[in-house]
Structure 1
Amino acid sequence: MQYDGGDAELYLEWQRPRIEFRCYGKTFAEASAVYRALVGVCRQAQRKVVETSAGNGLVYWVNLTSGPSFLQEPDVPEVVMVLVYGELAVAETAVAGDSG
């Protein structure tokens, strides 16, 4: 998972960053299994408390915004990946609870 831009909200304590997900494997079948696990996480309806630099924050949802792209990893030829983009809704305001 890597930050890939998104709209900055300057006046509210929540963000909707764009995220790049790279699902790796030795074969496309292995990389696809990681991708399917990612889809399962994105379909969960529960909000999740996460650690931030300001304490605990709250992830409301994760949506995948593109279909999967099956690619060869250019720097490591024996590894393949499924690349997909997504968007998060994250409250920056500290909340009670643990991150687990």
Structure 2
Amino acid sequence: MHRALPLLAAVLLLPVAPTLAQPVAEPTAAPEWVSDSLEFHGDLPYAGTDNPRQMLDLVLPKAKPDKPLPVVAFVHGGAWLAGDKRDGLRQVIRLAQSGD
């Protein structure tokens, strides 16, 4: 059994290796199509580390409303293997522009 353990570990870990080897995307500024009525804060660390995989984008209206606004947390999905937090940015921008 002890001789089969390294083989078992290799079989389980090899399919994940290409995902772990992917370079992390460089931080980018707000896309040029983001409305002037919004504040865009990109790549804010949320876990107390500088790990680029633990950053979020924050979109706020520039005009300060006289009532509390709802908060929407958009999670792109991808099972921590694929995709990017910016995949749903257009939907997030539309929600922020509506103010509802």
Q: TM-score range by the shorter chain?
A: under 0.3
Structure 2 length-normalised TM: 0.27
Larger Rg over CA atoms: 2
Name the structure, 1 or 2, with higher relative contact order (CA <8 Å, separation 6+). 1
Structure 1 length-normalised TM: 0.27
Structure with more of its chain in helix, by fraction: 2
Structure with more of its chain in strand, by fraction: 1
